[in-house]
Structure 1
C-alpha cells in the first residue's frame, strides 16, 4: 500500500508539473505578444497614428494572442497527457439554476473585495481595464466576452485541467482549476470572483463531465455583467442628470430622466434579489453538494507541494503576480 501511494504521488507530481508548464507557456506567449502589440502601437503613435485608443486594435491585441496562439499552444503541450475518461451525466434544470444563482453572490462579494483591495493597494489610482474595454460597447468585444471567452476558458481551465488531474482528488482538482483560472485574469479586480465562480464551474463539470453546462453558466454571467449594464446605462440621460437641479425640476426634465432612472432602479433591485437568492440557495443546499472519492486521492501531507511546488506553476504564479502589480500601478 505504501508503494502504491508513492507511485500515485510521483504520477501526480508529473501530472501537475506538466499542467504547470502548459499554464506558464500559455500565459507567457499571451504577455509577450501583447507587449509586442503595445510596442507596435507606440511606434504607430509616434508616427501620428493613435491605435492605442482604438477598440478594434485593443481587441486584436488582447484576444488574438489568447485564442489564436495561446490556446493551440496549451493544447499542443497537453496532447500526449493521459485523460481519465468518465461517464457523462445530465444536470437537472433545478440544479442548474440553483448553481447559477449561487454565482451572483460570489460575483458581487468577490467584485467588492477585488475593487476595494485594488483601490487600497494602488492609492485609488488602479483602473479595471476589462471594464473600460467593455464599456465602449464594441460589438466584437462584447461577442468575445459573452461567447468566445466562456468557450475557450472553460475548455482550458475546466475540461483540459480537470480531465487530467481529478483522479488525484476532486477538491484538489477544483481548487487547482479555480486558482489557475483566477490568476489568469492577471488583475486583482477579477481575481476573487473568478476564483469563486471557478470553483462552481469546476464542480458542475466534475459532476456531469459535460462542458456545455459550465460554458452556458459562464456565458450568462458574462452577459449579465457586460451587456445588461451597458444597456441600463444607455437608457440614462447622463447630461440631464449631471445638470439636475431639484429646485428647477420641471415636467420636461422629469420626462427625460425618469424612464432611465426606473430602468436603473429595476436593475439594482433584480441584482439584489439574485444575490440574496443565491446566498439562501447556497446555505439551504450546501449539504447536497458532495465530492466523490478519487481513485488516486493524494494524502493531505505534502499535497500542496505536489500540486503547486513544481517549477512550471511557480513561474506561472510569478508571471501572473507581476501582471497583477502592473495592473495596479501602470
Structure 2
C-alpha cells in the first residue's frame, strides 16, 4: 500500500469541521432519532415489499405457469426485477427527503492501494465466512439437518451466464447504491462508526439467511469505511463485483470436480487471509474515524421503531430459512 495515499484518505475527510456541520444540521432541524428511525422504516418497507412481491409473483406463476419457475433463469430474473424495480425505488422514495450529510471531496485511490483494500476485503470475507460456517455447523447439529443456503443453491442450480450477470454485475451496483450511497449519505453525519455498523449490519440482515449474514455484515462495514474515506461508491462497486465474481466463478469449477480449482482454491483462501491480516495490522494506525458532534445516546441507534422493525423482520425470515429452508 502507498503510505501517503492512506494518510490522504484519513485526513481529507470533510471540508467543514464537525462543529460547523452540527450547527448547520441544528439550523435545518435535524433530529438524529427521527432520521435513524426513518431510515430503519425505509429498510423495513424495502424488505417487506420486496419479499411480498416475490411471494405473490411466485405463487401466481406456480399456479398458472408452473413451467416458468422451473427454468434456470427464473430466480435471477425475479430477483433482479425485485431489487431494481421494487427495493431500490421504495427505499429511495422513503429517504429522499432526509438531508444528505456534509462530506468532503472525492479521493482518488492508487491502484496499489485499491488492490491492498481488495486483499483485506477478501481475507476478511473468508475469515468471517469460516466463523459463520462454524455457527451454521453447530446449529445443523442441533437441528439434525443441513442449514439452507439459498444463494449457494441458486448459484449451483441455475444458468452460469445469467447467474454471473446478476451476482457479479447487477447486484453489486444496486446494493452499493442502497447501502453505501443512499443510506450512508443520511447517516454519516452521526459519525463514522455508527454509520459503518448500521450500514454493514443492515446489509448483512438484508441477505435474510444465516449462511451469508456474518461475512456480508463484515464486508458491508469495510465497504462503508472505504466510501466514508473516498466519498464515492465507485471503488466499492468494483470491490463488490470482484468479490462476487470470485465466488460465482470458483463454485462451478469446484462442483465439477476440477482438480486444478480444488487445489488452487484453498491456497488462494489461505493467502488472502494471511496477506489481508498483515496489511490490516501494518496499516491499523492509519485507520481514523470521524466523530460526530451530536450528543446521541448509543441506545438511539438500536432502540427506535425503524431499526427494531427491520431487524425483527429479517431475523424472523432468517430463523424460518434456518429451520424450514
Which TM bucket (shorter chain)?
Answer: 0.7 to 0.9
- SS of 2:146's partner is coil
Scaled by the length of structure 1, what TM-score is found? 0.83
Match of 1:282 in 2: 280
Partner residue in 1 for 2:4: none
* Partner Cα distance (2:241, 2:206) in 1: 18
Question: Over residues 89-115 of structure 1, what are the superposed CA-to-partner deviations in whole Å (9 max), with x where a residue is unaligned?
Answer: 112323222221111222112222223
Q: Deviations over 1:59-105 (max 9, x none)?
A: 23333122211101111111211112422111232322222111122
Distance 1:113 1:80 in 2: 39
Judge conservation of contact 1:100–1:217 (CA < 8 Å) in 2: yes
What TM-score do the two structures reach when normalised by structure 2?
0.84
- Cα distance in 1 for partners of 2:217, 2:119 equals 16
**Alpha-carbon contact 1:110-1:190 (below 8 Å) kept:** no
Greater mean alpha carbon deviation, residues 200-209 or residues 126-135: 126-135
Report the alpha carbon displacement of residue 263 of structure 1 after superposing the two structures with TM: 3.7
8 Å Cα contact 2:72/2:158 also seen in 1: no
Question: Any residues of structure 2 matched to 1:15-164 within 5 Å, and which?
Answer: 15-44=35-64, 49-86=66-103, 87-122=105-140, 123=143, 124-138=145-159, 139-164=161-186
CA distance in 2, matches of 1:178, 1:89: 21
Q: Which residue, out of 278, 290, 293, partners 2:291?
A: 293
Deviation per CA, 1:269-303, whole angstroms, max 9, x where unpaired? 12221121111111221111111233x3444xx22
Question: Aligned partners of 1:155 and 1:175: how far apart in 2?
Answer: 17
Structure 1 residue runs without a partner (length 5+): 237-259
CA-CA distance at 1:11 after TM superposition: 1.3
Distance 2:82 2:261 in 1: 38
Counterparts of 1:176 and 1:275 in 2: how far apart (Å)?
A: 25
Which 10-residue stretch deviates more, 99-108 or 225-234? Answer: 225-234
**CA distance in 1: counterparts of 2:261 and 2:39, whole angstroms:** 46
3-state SS of the aligned residue for 1:221?
A: helix
- List gaps (5 residues or longer) in structure 2: 1-18
- Which of these two proteins has the greater Rg computed from alpha carbons? 1
How far apart, in 2, do the equivalents of 1:279 and 1:273 lie? Answer: 10
Q: Is the contact made by 1:182 and 1:190 (CA closer than 8 Å) also made in structure 2?
A: yes
Give per-residue Cα distances to partners, 1:22-49, cap 9 Å, x unaligned. Answer: 101100111111111332244247xxx3
- SS of 2:185's equivalent in the other structure is helix
Q: What per-residue deviation string (whole Å, max 9, x for no partner) do you get for residues 112-147 of structure 1? A: 222332343242332211011112352222211001
Question: Which of 239, 244, 257 is the equivalent residue of 1:222?
Answer: 244
Secondary structure of residue in 2 paired with 1:163: helix
Q: Secondary structure at the match of 1:58?
A: helix
- Report the RMSD for the aligned CA atoms in angstroms: 2.4
Mapped to 2, the partners of 1:120 and 1:38 lie a distance apart of 32
- Distance in structure 2 (CA, Å) of the matches to 1:137 and 1:50: 15
**Cα shift at 1:51:** 3.9
Deviations 1:167-223 (A, max 9, x none): 111111111100111110101101110111111100100001111011111100001
Does 185-194 or 110-119 show the bigger shift?
A: 110-119
Would you say 1:210 and 2:210 are equivalent positions? no
Between the aligned partners of 2:60 and 2:146, the Cα distance in structure 1 is 26
After superposition, the Cα gap between the structure-2 partners of 1:263 and 1:194, relative to the gap in structure 1 and judged at 3 Å, is closer
* Runs (4+) off by over 4 Å: 7-10
- How many correspondences in the alignment? 297
2: CA distance between counterparts of 1:40 and 1:110? 38
